[in-house]
C-alpha cells in the first residue's frame, strides 16, 4: 500500500506541476484549482508514505519520479525539446531512484 500511495503522490504532483503553465500566473480559475488540489492531494499521500519510509528516501523517489514524468509531459503536451544532456541527466536521476529501491537497506522490506 505504501508504494501505491507514493505512486499517487507522484501522479498528483505531476498533474499539478504540468498544469501550472495553463494557469496564466493563477489568473485562470480552473487550471489554478487543478494545481492547488493536485498539490494538496500529492502532499496528503506523501505524508502517508513518510509514516513507513524514511523522509529522505521518500523525497528522492517522489522528486525523481516527478522529474522523469514532468519531462515526458513537457515533451508531449507542451512540445518542449530535451537535448542529449537533459536526457542523460534525467536518465541518471531515474537510475538513482532504481538503485535506491533495489539496493538500499534504508527501505524497510
Query: Which three three-digit cell numbers place residue 60?
Result: 528522492
Is residue 34 within 8 Å of residue 15, measured between CB atoms? yes
pLDDT per position as a tens digit, 14-39: 999 999 999 999 999 999 999 999 99
**Rounded mean pLDDT of 82-102?**
92
Q: Please report which confidence band the pLDDT of residue 90 belongs to, taking 50, 70 and 90 as the band edges.
A: very high
**Rounded mean pLDDT of 99-103?**
86
pLDDT at 109: 65
- Rounded-to-integer distance, Cα 64 and Cα 94, Å: 6
- Rounded-to-integer distance, Cα 17 and Cα 36, Å: 10
Amino acid at each position: 500500500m505504501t508504494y501505491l500511495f507514493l505512486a499517487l503522490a507522484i501522479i498528483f504532483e505531476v498533474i499539478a506541476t504540468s498544469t501550472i503553465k495553463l494557469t496564466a500566473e493563477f489568473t485562470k480559475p480552473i487550471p489554478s484549482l487543478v494545481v492547488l488540489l493536485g498539490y494538496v492531494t500529492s502532499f496528503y499521500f506523501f505524508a502517508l508514505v513518510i509514516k513507513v519510509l524514511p523522509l529522505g528516501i521518500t523525497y528522492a523517489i517522489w522528486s525523481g519520479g516527478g522529474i522523469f514524468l514532468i519531462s515526458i509531459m513537457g515533451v508531449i503536451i507542451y512540445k518542449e525539446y530535451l537535448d542529449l544532456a537533459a536526457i542523460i541527466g534525467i536518465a541518471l536521476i531515474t537510475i538513482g531512484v532504481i538503485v535506491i529501491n533495489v539496493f538500499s537497506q534504508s527501505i524497510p522490506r
